[in-house]
Structure 1
């Protein structure tokens, strides 16, 4: 007895289900491929952006050499940096120059320039710093350089470094070398001075303004010996 063939309607339904299943499978495959392409493109874009960022940051990765110097007399260790254009602001450079000039005038002694340096230091000082200097330079002071040194002696300051400690204070390290007429070599002492300073807009005479155009003034001044084992006293009054 031969098996009965399924009705035509059942066959059509079966073929329709098979076609629907095949379409679903192919659709899922297409969706998977599309998702894979999207993920691949996204990862590729991220890789490209990382490469661009790396190339952009390469100029910032530089090796900066530093030179360490040690003062033979004091043992002070200092990091020396090269002079790079634009690295030092104009305000900082001007302030450091004023501080160096102030120390050179205040700590130097030369009878030939005494009147000019005295006027400069007095003008560039105010308050405690000015009072201390005037007392130190008074002819009635037995520790005045005019009492301590003969007229042929020259005290020459040599600035070693200027460091700004804050907006209104600085540390200046320097040597003072003594030269006596006819002597082969002079004595040399190392010092560090902590200086308080400001800029004032007070009115000045034309001659004073030319000597101090920005109104720089030292408000406090303390000098201490930097010599290792030195018994020299602090000379903040100078």
Structure 2
């Protein structure tokens, strides 16, 4: 009987040990699952924070900003400069002379067949006030297009261009007025144009306007004075 009791006690002891091992294993698995869950939650939070930070960081990059075009006066190479506000751009003297030459020829010439192109070019390169003054030449009873029609042609020959700095230039030129069919020289007059100008980029301009005037050359003041033949520049 003693042996039977000992066997029974041993069996119960093994059962208790197995039960304890199972409980310990279960507790270990529970703790491991909790640690895994916390780790996953931590990683998710970290990823969310990183994504939020990335979005905040990228938002300024998506902002549409005005820009200016810089032209290297020696190489002719152009580059885009991003700015928060439209600003004046200093370009080379030869670039200034090129635009002043183009402006005076378009502004002072008259040819019935190219009149619309010259008009559009002048308006594109003029400030609102200068554009208004130019438009007035084609308004009312004395409008040039009504006065001259296709019977008169005025050509322009630029003699010299002087850059004074601070956006001021002087253009000396002659105007020849004649009938298209005339073979004679026509009537020649000499003039001095004093022009104030700047370079501005306006994002509201249409693409075809930007193509014609990519550097935003803008005349802000214009005065034409007759010049006596033989006077010194």
Q: TM-score range by the shorter chain?
A: 0.5 to 0.7
C-alpha distance in structure 1 between counterparts of 2:128 and 2:206, whole Å = 20
**2:93: which partner in 1?**
92
C-alpha distance in structure 1 between counterparts of 2:97 and 2:222, whole Å = 15
Runs of 5+ unmatched residues, structure 2: 1-73, 75-90
C-alpha distance in structure 1 between counterparts of 2:160 and 2:181, whole Å = 30
**CA shift for structure 1 position 157:** 0.6
Judged with a 3 Å threshold, the aligned counterparts in structure 2 of structure 1 residues 226 and 109 are, in CA distance, closer, same or farther, namely same
What CA deviation, in whole Å up to 9, does each residue of 1:110-153 have, x standing for no partner? 01001111111011000332121111222x151x3223324132
Q: Secondary structure at the match of 2:137?
A: helix
Judged with a 3 Å threshold, the aligned counterparts in structure 2 of structure 1 residues 210 and 108 are, in CA distance, closer, same or farther, namely same
Answer whether contact 2:126 2:219 (CA < 8 A) is retained. yes
**1:209: which partner in 2?**
210
**1:113: which partner in 2?**
114
Answer whether contact 2:112 2:149 (CA < 8 A) is retained. no
> How is 1:89-238 mapped onto 2 (pairs within 5 angstroms)?
91-138=92-139, 140-142=140-142, 144-185=143-184, 186-203=186-203, 204-227=205-228
C-alpha distance in structure 2 between counterparts of 1:150 and 1:127, whole Å = 26
C-alpha distance in structure 1 between counterparts of 2:109 and 2:169, whole Å = 19
Answer whether contact 1:135 1:141 (CA < 8 A) is retained. no
Structure 1 length normalisation: TM-score? Answer: 0.55
Judged with a 3 Å threshold, the aligned counterparts in structure 2 of structure 1 residues 147 and 199 are, in CA distance, closer, same or farther, namely same
C-alpha distance in structure 2 between counterparts of 1:141 and 1:172, whole Å = 30
C-alpha distance in structure 1 between counterparts of 2:211 and 2:151, whole Å = 30
**CA shift for structure 1 position 179:** 2.6
Q: Secondary structure at the match of 2:214?
A: coil
Answer whether contact 1:195 1:221 (CA < 8 A) is retained. yes
Runs of 5+ unmatched residues, structure 1: 1-85, 229-238
Structure 2 length normalisation: TM-score? Answer: 0.56
Q: Secondary structure at the match of 1:101?
A: helix
**CA shift for structure 1 position 98:** 0.2
Answer whether contact 1:130 1:219 (CA < 8 A) is retained. no
- Select between 95-104 and 158-167 the one with higher mean Cα deviation: 158-167
What CA deviation, in whole Å up to 9, does each residue of 1:131-185 have, x standing for no partner? 21111222x151x322332413210010001111222111100000113133232
C-alpha distance in structure 2 between counterparts of 1:101 and 1:201, whole Å = 18
Q: Secondary structure at the match of 1:112?
A: coil
Aligned residues: 140
What CA deviation, in whole Å up to 9, does each residue of 1:91-124 have, x standing for no partner? 1111100000000000000010011111110110
Q: Secondary structure at the match of 2:114?
A: helix
